């Protein structure tokens, strides 16, 4: 009989236990799904004040060389060479069929690129980068770093008390700076739709830094449950649910990640397949959905037209605390993807009305340069 796998622990594991975190296995790690306040209160606190999230399970990678941006462009769809020092970009790994292998964030850190990839995919992603960039750039995983996200309209005030230099950052910018005297790399980013930051810190300083942030009266710890409802309200994809190897950037409504000159020049996996989809169109598209009533439509719920014919599937769904009702996203046949289109969600076999809706479901709170 096989031995049960032991979950890894992040540098903040002891803090989660002290703070009453309800721990669950997630992406190979023991992670807090919620704290005593519960998912609903943690969600709303993040929208109105500041929530602290442990995202140390994510993969952090440094890429260095003569031209690391050009090298990384050979395995992602985005434009990285135009990134000025301190600029950050969302992009995608794709396979030869145009399917999405993972989504990731890339920051020009000056003398190297700083990359953050999803926890469940990080081993695969690191192997992909090391193989794809061999001889052109050095790919160095950073397992000795923790990653702390501080999100919400009061995040800047809380973090600014420990790191005054964050005032110079706007949305999707990053810089190396001291945080409470510790050398960190801070980006003004996150996955909640709110203004906020992600702080890459040495693992042995992470717990003390998190406790300092939690000492601020506006900061509360937030678990995976509220992180999921926050990103869903923000219309953001969760890898393995809303995007995966069977979905392309065109189907996923992520074509904006591939600028025109990259489509024309190519040089990344799956470009021919993606160009073919742009030319011929796709059979399905990712859309937002607002179910009527209070019953949420969970992942896997079938979407039907007025005649009961199944036209798609929900990939993420639940109650949106900030919206005050259920929200969802999923894939529907392209003919039904236009906003305001009426559809039915087959919840436990019963058709419930819903409307295709533009995303995000809540207005973003990002601090933009313009």
For 122-150, write each residue's pLDDT tens digit: 999 999 999 999 999 999 999 999 999 99
Per-residue pLDDT for 344 more than 70?
yes
More confident residue, 171 or 1: 171
Average pLDDT of 275-299? 96
Average pLDDT of 219-226? 98
Tell me the pLDDT of the chain averaged across its residues.
97
Residue 6: the pLDDT is: 73
Per-residue pLDDT for 370 more than 80?
no
Residue 3: the pLDDT is: 42
What is the reported pTM? 0.96
Residue 10: the pLDDT is: 98
Per-residue pLDDT for 350 more than 60?
yes
Q: How far is CA 220 from CA 36, 207, 235, 297, in A?
A: 11, 15, 23, 29
Per-residue pLDDT for 366 more than 90?
yes
If one counts every other C-beta atom within 10 angstroms of the C-beta of residue 202, the result is: 15
Residue 5: the pLDDT is: 57
Domains annotated on the chain, with CATH:
13-56+144-233 (3.30.1360.120), 60-141 (3.30.70.1400), 283-357 (2.40.30.110)
Using only C-alpha atoms, the chain has a radius of gyration, in whole angstroms, of: 21
HSE-up of residue 9 (Cα within 13 Å, Cβ side) = 9
- Which of the four pLDDT bands, split at 50, 70 and 90, describes residue 2? very low
If residue 69 lies in a helix (H) or strand (E), which one and from where to where? helix 68-72
Q: Is 52 exposed, middle or buried (0-12, 13-18, 19+ CB in 10 A)?
A: buried
Residue 348: the pLDDT is: 85
For 144-153, write each residue's pLDDT tens digit: 999 999 999 9
């Amino acid at each position: 009989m096989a031995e049960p796998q032991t979950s890894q622990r992040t540098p903040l594991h002891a803090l989660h236990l002290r703070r009453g975190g309800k721990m669950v296995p997630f992406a190979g790690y023991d992670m807090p799904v919620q704290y005593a306040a519960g998912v609903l209160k943690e969600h709303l606190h993040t929208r109105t004040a500041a929530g602290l999230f442990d995202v140390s399970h994510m993969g952090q990678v440094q890429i260095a060389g003569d031209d690391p941006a050009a090298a990384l462009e050979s395995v992602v769809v985005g434009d990285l060479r135009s990134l000025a020092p301190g600029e950050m970009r969302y992009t995608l790994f794709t396979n030869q069929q145009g399917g999405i292998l993972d989504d990731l964030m890339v920051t020009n850190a000056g003398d190297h690129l700083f990359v953050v990839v999803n926890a469940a995919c990080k081993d695969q992603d690191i192997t992909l980068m090391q193989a794809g960039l061999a001889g052109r750039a050095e790919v160095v995983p950073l397992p000795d770093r923790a990653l702390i996200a501080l999100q919400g309209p009061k995040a800047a005030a809380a973090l600014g008390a420990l790191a005054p230099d964050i005032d110079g950052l706007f949305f999707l910018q990053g810089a190396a700076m001291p945080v409470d005297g510790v050398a960190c790399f801070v980006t003004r980013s996150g996955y909640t739709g709110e203004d906020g930051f992600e702080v890459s810190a040495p693992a042995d300083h992470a717990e003390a830094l998190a406790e300092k942030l939690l000492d601020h009266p506006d900061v509360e710890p937030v678990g995976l449950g509220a992180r999921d409802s926050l990103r869903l309200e923000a219309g953001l994809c969760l890898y393995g649910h809303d995007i995966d190897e069977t979905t392309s950037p065109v189907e996923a409504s992520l074509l904006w990640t591939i600028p025109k000159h990259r489509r024309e020049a190519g040089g990344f996996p799956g470009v021919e397949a993606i160009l073919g989809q742009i030319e011929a169109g796709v059979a399905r598209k990712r859309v937002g959905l607002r179910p009527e009533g209070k019953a949420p439509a969970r992942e896997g719920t079938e979407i039907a037209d007025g005649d009961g014919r199944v036209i798609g599937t929900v990939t993420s769904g639940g109650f949106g605390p900030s919206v005050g009702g259920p929200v969802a996203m999923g894939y529907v046949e392209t003919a039904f993807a236009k906003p305001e289109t009426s559809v039915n969600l087959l919840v436990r076999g019963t058709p419930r009305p819903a409307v295709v809706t533009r995303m995000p479901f809540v207005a973003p709170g990002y601090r933009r340069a313009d």
